[in-house]
């Protein structure tokens, strides 16, 4: 395992342990009160869902056009993380919405498009798992389609009539909220790098197992 893995894991755990303390000291939001603090985990998870969709899409493009097996393994790892962080977004969002909007869910542009993005990458994983030989290319094309959806999901709150807060919220945070938010964003970022590294390593080892099986057959 890489020499940086253990320190990275330690940093990720430490940041996550400290994050709730930082969040508890952040000021309350005037209209939403306590429940607004879901923001500090919900938004970084959404950011990582988008970033991971891009990583998966770009790695899939490299695999499709340059036939790079290494890129394909990165794509699988990133695809799983889109589903993981997407699931976090789709659960923490309704918990926040129940108090802030009075409903668990609204079929508005941001929520619906986020759910569709998550489902595209869930389908990506299902195709990889059950598609049989050669399904990597079909899955790669799906990942490109999923990546192309990310900008639409992001700008949906600015261009469509939606109940969801706009993208300007993050850039206009007050000092107390801003530091807590970016602390959580960095914590999630370190966690993401760690999980991607681990998952990529698993794919590398599985590829090695397959090569050894082939060597035994020869």
> Can you give 113-173 as a three-state secondary structure string?
HHHHHHHHHHHHHHHHHHCCCCHHHHHHHHHHHHHHHHHHHHHHHHHCCCCCCCCHHHHCC
- The residue (of 167 and 205) whose beta carbon lies closer to another protein is 205
**Cβ 152 to another protein, closest distance in Å?**
26
Q: How far is the CB of 151 from another protein (least distance, A)?
A: 26
Nearer to another protein, 36 or 149 (CB): 36
CA-wise closest residue to 186 among 174, 198, 178, 176: 178
Residues between 41 and 70 that touch another protein (CB under 8 A): 41-42, 45
Cα(184)–Cα(190) distance, rounded to whole angstroms? 10
Among 2, 7, 31, 34, binds another protein (CB under 8 A): 34
Residue 33 pairs in a beta bridge with 29
* Residue 199 binds another protein (CB under 8 A): yes
Least CB distance to another protein at residue 14 (A): 15
Q: How far apart are the first and last CA of the chain?
A: 30
Residues lying near another protein in the complex (CB under 8 A) are found at 16, 20, 33-35, 37-38, 41-42, 45, 84, 87-88, 91-92, 95-96, 98-99, 191, 195, 198-199, 201-202, 205-206, 208-209, 212-213, 215-216
């Amino acid at each position: 395992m890489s020499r940086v893995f253990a320190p990275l894991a330690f940093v990720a755990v430490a940041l996550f342990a400290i994050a709730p303390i930082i969040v508890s000291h952040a000021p309350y939001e005037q209209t939403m009160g306590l429940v607004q603090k879901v923001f500090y985990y919900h938004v970084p998870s959404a950011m990582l869902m988008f970033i991971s969709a891009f990583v998966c899409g770009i790695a899939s493009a490299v695999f499709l056009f340059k036939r790079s097996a290494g890129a394909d393994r990165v794509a699988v790892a990133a695809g799983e993380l889109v589903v993981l962080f997407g699931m976090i977004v789709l659960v923490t969002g309704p918990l926040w919405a129940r108090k802030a909007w009075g409903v668990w869910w609204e079929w508005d542009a941001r929520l619906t498009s986020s759910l569709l993005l998550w489902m595209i990458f869930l389908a990506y994983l299902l195709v990889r798992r059950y598609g049989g030989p050669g399904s990597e290319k079909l899955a790669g094309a799906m990942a490109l389609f999923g990546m192309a959806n990310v900008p639409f999901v992001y700008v949906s709150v600015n261009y469509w009539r939606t109940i969801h807060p706009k993208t300007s919220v993050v850039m206009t945070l007050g000092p107390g909220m801003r530091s807590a938010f970016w602390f959580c964003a960095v914590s999630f970022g370190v966690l993401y790098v760690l999980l991607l590294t681990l998952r990529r390593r698993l794919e590398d080892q599985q590829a090695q197992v397959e090569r050894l099986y082939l060597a035994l057959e020869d």
